[in-house]
Structure 1
Amino acid sequence: MKKILIIHYSQTGQLTDIVQSVTAPFKNNETVSIVYENIKPKPAFPFPWSATQFCDVFPESVEGIPCEIEPVQFDPNESYDLVILAYQVWFLAPSLPITAFLNSPEAKVMNGRPVLTIIGCRNMWLLAHETVKQQIIKSGGRLFGNIVLGDRTNNLLGVLTIAIWMLSGKKKMFFGLLPDAGISDKDIHDASKFGTILMKSLKNNDPESIQETLNMHGAVTVVPQYILFEKRIQRIFKIWSKFILRKGERGNPARKFRVRLFLGYLFAAIAVIAPVSTVLSILAVKFKKDEIQNAIDYFSKNIV
């Protein structure tokens, strides 16, 4: 019997739906045993949350400072045939609960094991994946494959719908006047095709990466203009995160003013900077072809 451990954290429930879809082909299969581990931050992050609460997790997310989590329920000494790590992207980084798990002693469960990552995000995930990949390697795991489901809405409209969802809890937008926030129900439902590929690989005892096969079915798409966009945003985020952290850790009232300043910056970025950056990124694809191509080659070859 093949034993699979699935580790995930989902604030909105969307990532849980994705995990359930990907693993649907495993269910009612007597040759597969699945252990689900839902990472639980302590205290739990609210959803929906206020704009200030949202921005208060920003510095720790960017700097990879773990939050506190509840003890895991699985046995880290158990031998699994596959570990699936599903995570959200917060501020171009893995969510804090997943960062906490990756820095915990229980992450040793990945040692010597193939690890498949599943990412649920808006549209930018490359830098977060680099961080997670290095943590998997540090824990002795071997990245087996990666699946990315993102919001297909255009960048500027997606920022608006996601913001409304995060702050109101409403994924359906104004009676259909705007597209639904997040990953489409169809894409989530269709993610079961990746589970079929995984099932076949496990059945054949294939220890090699299955990324090429996954990509043939749309598992990963590298968008050229987002490569430079992410790196540019990350540099700005690093400046802001260090600026806020000088006033204390998450929840410290002393840093509230700086958190609100960052919130103001985000609003300005959405309204003014993002549209300009989008245009500049499109132009960069045309005028920095060699740099973009080198980045595409790197990320395409180093997904696993």
Structure 2
Amino acid sequence: MKKVLFIYYSQSGQLEEIARSIARPFAEAKSVEVDFYEVKMVHSFPFPWTSDAFFNTFPETFQQIPEEIHPPAPKILETNYDLVIVHYQVWYLTPSIPVNSFMKSSYANQILAGKPVVTVSGSRNMWALAQDKMKVLLQQCGATLVGNIALTDRHHNLISVVTIVDWMFSGKKRKAYGIFPKPGVSDKEIEEADKFGQTILPYLKNLNFEGLQQDLVKQGAVDYRFFLVSMDQKGNRMFRIWSSIIRRNPKRRKRLVTLFKYYVVFAIYGISPIVYLIELLLYPVVYFLKYRKEKAHYEGV
């Protein structure tokens, strides 16, 4: 009997839906036992968010400062799993505080040490550098990354900003203002995510995960977009500066967080379209210098 653990944290319910969709083939297999562990914070985050609450989480999120979580059930801690599938969402180009808090806890070391892990992210569109950070967290736990699935909102970058903000602050996954598409990973992709479970299952049965990531990529598990990775890299550089300034000035935190909020809006709608045009013009040259290697990196493990 093979044992698989699905770990997730979900505010809106989307990531739990993804986890349970991927889990279906495992649950239907008589030779596999499936457990779920939902990360729960001692001090929970609101959903829907308020603008102040959301932006105030930025410095600690980006600097990956953990908070206290409730311990997993004894069964989760005592079971020797053959595979762990860790689901996480991206906050500020970084694994969310709840998942980061779990990954930096003693519970993660106990559960993940020596285990093969598949990561699954559900994000707006910029997941690449968050996955690099997740790789570091897994290495610190002594886990082995054997696969990665990055599910995103596939609409245009500027459109997805409008729709995700409406979802975050209303709590409703709807067509914003009646004209925009629904936010987040599409219902169709969530429903069809069980195909990834079907792909992983034979590797689990053989306890040999070599070649798994290549098969997942063939199914569309990773959507590399050079422009988004470039924006991710630039955003990380600026977020590093902003988060440091805010945390070094606690008495001015509220004002600085407000300034950061306006900076983010300007960067998305003012700077990113210009950067996109420049990247597009340079693509034929830069592809051979950077993008080809970068694509291989993010499609791999």
Same fold (TM over 0.5): yes
Q: Distance in 2 between matches of 1:297 and 1:192?
A: 25
Please tell me whether the aligned partners of residues 37 and 76 of structure 2 are also in contact (alpha carbons under 8 angstroms).
Answer: no
* Partner residue, 1:295: 294
Please tell me whether the aligned partners of residues 71 and 107 of structure 2 are also in contact (alpha carbons under 8 angstroms).
Answer: no
Which runs of no fewer than 5 residues in structure 1 stay unpaired? Answer: none
Please tell me whether the aligned partners of residues 82 and 207 of structure 2 are also in contact (alpha carbons under 8 angstroms).
Answer: no
The CA deviation at 1:75 is 3.7
Q: Distance in 2 between matches of 1:296 and 1:207?
A: 21
* Partner residue, 1:236: 238
TM-score by length of 1: 0.93
C-alpha distance after superposition, 1:152-182 (max 9, x if no partner): 1011111111111111112211475111011
Please tell me whether the aligned partners of residues 5 and 37 of structure 1 are also in contact (alpha carbons under 8 angstroms).
Answer: yes
Alignment map for 1:42-191 (pairs within 5 Å): 42-73=42-73, 74-108=75-109, 109-174=111-176, 176-191=178-193
C-alpha distance after superposition, 1:85-144 (max 9, x if no partner): 000011110000111111111112111111011110111111110111111112111111
TM-score by length of 2: 0.94
Please tell me whether the aligned partners of residues 247 and 255 of structure 1 are also in contact (alpha carbons under 8 angstroms).
Answer: yes
* Partner residue, 2:263: 265
Please tell me whether the aligned partners of residues 163 and 181 of structure 2 are also in contact (alpha carbons under 8 angstroms).
Answer: yes
Are 1:255 and 2:276 matched, yes or no? no
Please tell me whether the aligned partners of residues 227 and 292 of structure 1 are also in contact (alpha carbons under 8 angstroms).
Answer: no
Which runs of no fewer than 5 residues in structure 2 stay unpaired? Answer: none
Q: Distance in 2 between matches of 1:174 and 1:120?
A: 20
* Partner residue, 2:7: 7
1:177–1:207 Cα change, 3 Å: closer
Identity rate of aligned residues, in percent?
Answer: 39
Q: Which amino acid aligns with 1:231?
A: Q
Q: How many residue pairs were aligned?
A: 298
**Aligned-CA RMSD value:** 1.7
1:131–1:151 Cα change, 3 Å: same
Please tell me whether the aligned partners of residues 247 and 254 of structure 1 are also in contact (alpha carbons under 8 angstroms).
Answer: yes
Q: Which amino acid aligns with 1:242?
A: S
